[in-house]
Amino acid sequence: MRVLVIGSGAREHALCWKLAASPLLTSLCCVPGNPGIAAVATCLPGRVDDIAGLVALARREAIDLVVPGPEGPLVAGIVDAMEEAGIRCFGPSAAAARLEGSKSFTKEICAAAGIPTAAWRSFTDAPSARAYLATLPSPPVVKADGLAAGKGVVVAATHEEAEVAITEFLEVGRLGAAGRALVLEERLTGEEVSLFALCDGEHAIAFGAAQDHKAVGEGDTGPNTGGMGAYSPPPVLTAALEEAAMQRIVRPALAEMARRGTPFRGILFAGLMLTAEGPKLIEFNVRFGDPECEALMLRLRSDLLAALLAAMDGELPSFDVRWSKEAAMTVVMAARGYPARPASGGVIGGLEAAGAIAGAHVFHASTATRDGVLVAQGGRVLAISAAAATLAEAARAAYAAVDKVVWADGFCRRDIGWRALGGVPT
Ligand code: AMP
Ligand code: GLY
C-alpha cells in the first residue's frame, strides 16, 4: 500500500516512523516532511493548505491512502477533495471537522447530546459579551470561535482580562476571521487529559491517552504553547474514568454527528478536564495531538496502518489495539524566544548520541538542512522521546537524550511529568 502523510512536524515524524514499520506498507511519502522524516519516508515539496496541489500529487504518486496530520487541511476539506478524486483519505470530512473548526458548533453538539462540558455562551458583538461578563461571578475563559493556532484561548484571571480579550477578538480583530465570534465559558478545575478515540463514523475505540504541558515555563507558568512535553499513559486517567469519558463524551458526540448526516471518521481527540463531578469536555480536536502523538506511537504495539484501515472500513469493533506496558515521555526542545519570537537558524548537533540512549527516539518538529548542516527553523524544533518500564525511567532516558543535543538556542522544560512523578525529574 502506498501511503502519503501530510505535515512537517514531530507528530508527522512519529506517524511516519510507525507507518514505516507496517507490513502492509510498500511506499511512504510525506509532504512536505522534514529532515528527520526523510530517514523513513520520501519527502516531496508541497504546501499542507494547497488541497488541489495535494490531490494532484496523490494522483501522480498513485497513493492508496492519505493521512493528514494537522487540522488545517481537514477543516479545509482535504478528505472530501481526495474522495472526490477516488483517493482514500484518513480523517473527517469538512462537515465533521467542524468539531475542531468551530468551538460554538462543538458546544451545540454537546448540548444536543448531553455531553458534560463547561457552561458557555457564544457572542458576535462586544457589548452583548460585556453585558454577559458583568453577570458572571468569576472570570470566564474567552475563546475565539475558529482555528487560531493555539492563540485563541484566554484563561482570564480577572474580569478586566476577559474584557480585554473580548475587545481584542471582536473589536480590534486581532485573530481575523477566527475571532469574529467567541465563546465565554466557565473555568473548570482539575487535571487535563488528552484522550484519543479511533472512530469509523459509528463505532469508537479508545486509542491511547496522554497528558501534555501547554505552558512554556516550568511549574506550568507563562504563555500557552502548542505543548512543551507529554507523557503516556496518564496515571490520573483510571480505566473507569476512561470508560466514563468514552460513554458520556466520545460516543454521544459520534452518535449526534451520525444523526446529523455528518458521521465522524478519524481520530477524535477529546481534551478532558477531570473535575470533581467526573470528566468534562474542554474541546474536541479532529487529529492526533502534538506532542501527545510522539509518546503514543512509542507505546503502540498494533500496526498503525491496519488500525487506520479498520476505521476506514468500519471494522473497528473487531480490531484489537495493543499497547506496550511501558510508559513514554516526550520533551519538546524549542528555540529561544518561543512562543513569542523564536530564534531561527541555529546549528543542531548531537542527535545521533541522543538517539543512542536506550529507549530514546528523536523526532524532528521544525528542522531544515542548510549546506548539509541541520539547523532549527524556529518554534518547537525537536521532540525528544523515550519509553521505559516506568515513567520515572522514561523521564530519565528522555532527559539523558536531551542532554546529548548540542544546540545553543535550544531550551526545554526540565519538569515534564511533574504531576505524575511527584516532583522535578532528576
Ligand atoms: P483549548 O484550545 O480549548 O484546548 O484551550 C487551551 C487551553 O486552555 C486548554 O488546554 C486548557 O488548559 C485551557 N482551558 C480551555 N478551556 C478551559 C476551561 N473551561 N476551564 C479551564 N481551562 C480551560
Ligand atoms: N498538544 C495539544 C494539541 O495538539 O492540540
DSSP conformation class of 10 = H
In the CATH scheme, what is the code of domain 2-91? 3.40.50.20
Is the confidence at residue 358, as pLDDT, over 90?
A: yes
Q: Ligand 2 mean position to 62 CA, how many Å?
A: 31
Q: Ligand 1 mean position to 204 CA, how many Å?
A: 24
pLDDT band at 424 (very low <50, low <70, confident <90, very high): low
Q: Whose CA is closest to 6, among 70, 56, 52? A: 70
pLDDT band at 171 (very low <50, low <70, confident <90, very high): confident
β 229-232/204-212 pair status:
antiparallel
Is the confidence at residue 170, as pLDDT, over 90?
A: no
Q: Whose CA is closest to 9, among 34, 30, 39? A: 34
Instruction: Dump pLDDT digits (tens) for 203-228.
Output: 999 999 999 999 999 998 988 888 99
Cβ(34)–Cβ(14) below 8 Å: no
Q: State which fold the 191-318 domain adopts.
A: D-amino Acid Aminotransferase; Chain A, domain 1 (3.30.470)
The protein residue whose alpha carbon is closest to atom 5 in ligand 2 is 289
Instruction: Dump pLDDT digits (tens) for 271-314.
Output: 999 999 999 999 999 999 999 999 999 999 999 999 999 999 99
pLDDT at 422: 84
Handedness of CA 345, 349, 352, 354 (dihedral sign): negative
pLDDT at 425: 44
Q: Ligand 1 mean position to 154 CA, how many Å?
A: 8
Is the confidence at residue 426, as pLDDT, over 50?
A: no
Grouping H, G, I as helix, E, B as strand and the rest as coil, residue 316 is helix
Is the confidence at residue 231, as pLDDT, over 50?
A: yes
Grouping H, G, I as helix, E, B as strand and the rest as coil, residue 247 is helix
DSSP conformation class of 38 = G
Least confident of 134-148, 196-210, 325-339: 134-148
Is the confidence at residue 85, as pLDDT, over 80?
A: yes
pLDDT at 172: 80
Tell me the C-alpha distance between 170 and 293, whole Å.
34
Handedness of CA 406, 398, 414, 214 (dihedral sign): positive
Cell of 354: 541522543
Tell me which of 153, 216, 220, 269 to substitute to probe ligand 1's pocket, judged by most ligand atoms within 8 Å of the beta carbon. 153
- Nearest ligand to the C-alpha atom of residue 154: 1
CATH of 327-421, one of 3.40.50.360, 3.10.129.10, 3.90.600.10, 3.90.70.10: 3.90.600.10
Q: Ligand 2 mean position to 223 CA, how many Å?
A: 15
- Nearest ligand to the C-alpha atom of residue 224: 1
pLDDT band at 370 (very low <50, low <70, confident <90, very high): very high
Grouping H, G, I as helix, E, B as strand and the rest as coil, residue 346 is coil
**What's the whole-number average pLDDT of the chain?**
94
The protein residue whose alpha carbon is closest to atom 9 in ligand 1 is 282
Tell me the C-alpha distance between 415 and 420, whole Å.
10
The protein residue whose alpha carbon is closest to atom 6 in ligand 1 is 153
| Environment class of 64 (CB within 10 Å of its CB; exposed 0-12, middle 13-18, buried 19+) | middle
> 83 in ligand 1 pocket by Cβ < 6 Å?
no
Q: Across residues 121-149, what is the average pLDDT?
A: 88
Instruction: Dump pLDDT digits (tens) for 239-283.
Output: 999 999 999 999 999 999 999 999 999 999 999 999 999 999 999
Q: Across residues 154-168, what is the average pLDDT?
A: 92
Grouping H, G, I as helix, E, B as strand and the rest as coil, residue 191 is strand
Residue 304, C-beta contacts closer than 8 angstroms, at least 6 positions apart: 15, 18, 19, 21, 22, 297
pLDDT at 146: 74
Is the confidence at residue 84, as pLDDT, over 70?
A: yes
pLDDT at 313: 93
Ligand 2 shell residues, CB under 6 Å: 212, 226-227, 285, 289-290, 292
pLDDT band at 423 (very low <50, low <70, confident <90, very high): low
Cβ(234)–Cβ(210) below 8 Å: yes
**What does residue 236 show for φ and ψ, rounded to 5 degrees?**
-70, -20
* Ligand 1, atom nearest to 150 Cα: 2
The protein residue whose alpha carbon is closest to atom 3 in ligand 1 is 283
Q: Ligand 1 mean position to 138 CA, how many Å?
A: 16
pLDDT at 59: 98
Enumerate the domain spans of the chain.
2-91, 120-185, 191-318, 327-421
Neighbouring CB atoms inside 10 A of 62's CB total: 9
- Angle, helices 251-259/103-113, rounded to nearest 10 degrees: 100
Q: How far is CA 174 from the centre of its chain?
A: 24
Q: Of the ranges 149-163, 174-188, 377-391, which is most confident?
A: 377-391
Q: How far is CA 139 from the centre of its chain?
A: 27
Tell me which of 269, 283, 284, 413 to substitute to probe ligand 2's pocket, judged by most ligand atoms within 8 Å of the beta carbon. 269
Superfamily of 120-185 according to CATH: ATP-grasp fold, A domain (3.30.1490.20)
Is the confidence at residue 173, as pLDDT, over 90?
A: no
Residue 189, C-beta contacts closer than 8 angstroms, at least 6 positions apart: 273, 275
191-318 and 327-421: same fold?
no
The protein residue whose alpha carbon is closest to atom 4 in ligand 2 is 289
